[in-house]
Structure 1
Amino acid sequence: MATRNSATVKDVVLAPGSGSFFYDDQAAIRAGTPHDGFLYIGAPLTPGFTRIRMPARSLGIGLVLSDDVVVWGDMMSVQYSGAGGRDPVFQVETIEELTRSVVIPRLRSADVSNFLVACNHVLAYHGGQRLPLAIEYGVSQALLRAAAHCARTTLAEVICSEFSLPLPERPIPIYAQSGDSREINVDKMILKSVDVLPHGLINSREKFGPSGETFRKFVKWVAKRTREIGMPGYHPVLHFDVYGWIGLEIGMQPEKIVDFIARVADDVPGYRLHIECPADFGSTEAQLNEYAKIVAFLDQRGIEARIVVDEQCNTLDDIHLFANAKAAHIIQIKMPDVGSIADTARAVLICKGNGVGSYVGGSCTETDLSARAAVNIAVATQADMILAKPGMGVDEGISIVGNEQSRLLSVLKYRRSQSSMRNVNAASK
Structure 2
Amino acid sequence: MQPSSDLEIEAVRAVPTVAGFFFDDQRAIKAGAEADGATYRGEPTTEGFDRIREAGEALSVEIELSDGTTATGDCAAVQYSGAGGRDPLFRAERYRPVVEDRIAGTLVGRDPADFGMLVDETGALPGERSGGGQLHTAVRYGVSQALLEAAATARRTTKTDVIADTVGSEPATEPVPVFGQSGDERRANAEKMLLKRVDVLPHGLFNSVRKVGKDGERLLEYLSWLSNRAGELGDEDYSPRFHIDVYGILGKVFGPPYDSPDVIEYFRALRSAADPYPLQIEGPMDAGGRKAQIARMCELRDGLADAGLDVDLVADEWCNTLEDVRAFVDAGAADVIQVKTPDIGGIQRSAAAVQYCEGTETRAYLGGTCNETDLSARVCAHVALATDAAQVLAKPGMGFDEGYMIVENEMRRTIARRTRTVRRPGVAGDA
With the length of structure 2 as denominator, give the TM-score of the two structures.
0.93
- Which of 210, 232, 236 is residue 232 of structure 1 equivalent to? 236
Judged with a 3 Å threshold, the aligned counterparts in structure 2 of structure 1 residues 35 and 110 are, in CA distance, closer, same or farther, namely same
User: SS of 2:395's equivalent?
Assistant: coil
Asked if 1 retains the 8 angstrom alpha-carbon contact of 2:13 and 2:100, the reply is: no
Could you list the per-position Cα deviations for residues 16-62 of structure 1 after superposition, in whole angstroms to 9, with x for gaps in the alignment? 11001111111111111112211101111111111111110100000
Q: Distance in 1 between matches of 2:8 and 2:296?
A: 48
Residue in structure 2 matched with residue 342 of structure 1 by the alignment? 348
Equivalent in the alignment of 1:83: 83
Instruction: Tell me if the contact between 1:168 and 1:412 (Cα under 8 Å) persists in the aligned partners.
Output: no
CA-CA distance at 1:167 after TM superposition = 4.1
Residue among 398, 405, 411 paired with 2:404: 398
Question: Helix, strand or coil for the counterpart of 2:243?
Answer: strand
CA contact (8 A) 2:314 2:337 kept: yes
Residue of structure 2 in register with 1:178 after alignment: 182
Matching of residue 377 in structure 1 with residue 383 in structure 2: yes
Question: What is the identity, as a one-letter code, of the residue corresponding to 2:288?
Answer: G
Cα-to-partner distance string for 1:370-419 (whole Å, 9 max, x where unaligned): 000000000110000000000001100110011111101111211xx469
Amino acid at match of 1:61: V
State whether structure 2 residue 120 is matched by structure 1 residue 114: no
Q: Which residue number in structure 2 is paired with residue 205 of structure 1?
A: 209
Q: 3-state SS of the aligned residue for 2:59? A: strand
> Structure 2 CA distance, aligned partners of 1:260 and 1:77?
34
1:304 maps to 310
- Checking the alignment, whether the CA contact within 8 Å between 2:4 and 2:111 is kept in structure 1 is no
| Greater displacement, 101-110 / 173-182 | 101-110
The residue aligned with 1:23 is: 23
Equivalent in the alignment of 1:422 = none
Corresponding position of 1:137: 141
State whether residues 224 and 274 of structure 2, in contact with CA within 8 Å, keep that contact through their aligned partners in structure 1: yes
Contact 1:200 1:241 in 2 (8 A): yes
Q: CA RMSD in A?
A: 1.8
- Alignment-derived partner of residue 102 in structure 2: 102
- 8 Å Cα contact 1:124-1:130 kept in structure 2: yes
State the secondary structure of the residue aligned to 1:243: coil
Residues matched between the structures, number:
418
Task: Quote the residue 1:215 is aligned against.
Answer: 219
| Residues 263 and 13 (structure 1), Cα distance of their counterparts in 2 relative to 1, 3 Å cut | same
- In structure 1, give the amino acid aligned to 2:41: I
Once residues 146 and 265 of structure 2 are traced to their aligned partners in structure 1, the CA distance between those partners, rounded to angstroms, is 46
Shift of 1:4: 4.8
SS in structure 2 opposite 1:21? strand
Give the distance between the partners of 2:174 and 2:308, measured in 1 at CA.
29
Superimposed CA distance per residue, residues 198-227 of structure 1 (whole angstroms, 9 cap, x where no aligned partner)? 111001111010210011101111111111
**Map of 2:426 onto structure 1:** none
**Partners of 2:179 and 2:394 within 8 A in 1:** yes
**Structure 1, 342-351 or 106-115: larger mean CA deviation:** 106-115
Q: Is the contact made by 1:372 and 1:404 (CA closer than 8 Å) also made in structure 2?
A: yes
Would you say 1:295 and 2:301 are equivalent positions? yes
Identity %: 41
Q: Which runs of 5+ in 2 are unaligned?
A: 424-428
CA contact (8 A) 1:178 1:394 kept: yes
Aligned-partner SS, 2:157: coil
Looking at structure 1, the residues matched to 298 and 110 of structure 2 have their Cα atoms a distance apart, in angstroms, of 42
- What amino acid maps onto 2:365 in structure 1? Y
Cα distance change on mapping 1:6 and 1:286 into 2, 3 Å: farther
Q: Name the stretch that deviates more: 54-63 or 12-21.
A: 12-21
Secondary structure of 1:353's match? coil
Partner Cα distance (2:58, 2:164) in 1 = 28
Question: Does the CA contact (< 8 Å) of 1:252 and 1:279 recur in 2?
Answer: no
Question: For residue 193 of structure 1, what is the aligned residue in structure 2?
Answer: 197
Amino acid at match of 1:327: A
Asked if the contact 1:27–1:46 (Cα under 8 Å) also holds between the matched residues in 2, the reply is yes
For the 8 Å contact 2:259–2:304, the answer to whether it is kept is no
Q: Which residue of 2 aligns with 1:318?
A: 324
Partner of 1:65: 65
Question: Which structure shows the higher helix fraction?
Answer: 1
- Tell me the amino acid that sits aligned with residue 391 of structure 2: M
Q: Does 1:13 align with 2:13?
A: yes
Equivalent residues of 2:171, 2:388 under 8 A apart: no
Match of 1:264 in 2: 270
User: Which digits, 9 at most, give the CA deviation of each residue in 1:69-112, with x for residues without a partner?
Assistant: 10000001010001111011111122113223321111115332
Q: Which runs of 5+ in 1 are unaligned?
A: 420-424
- The match for 1:353 is 359
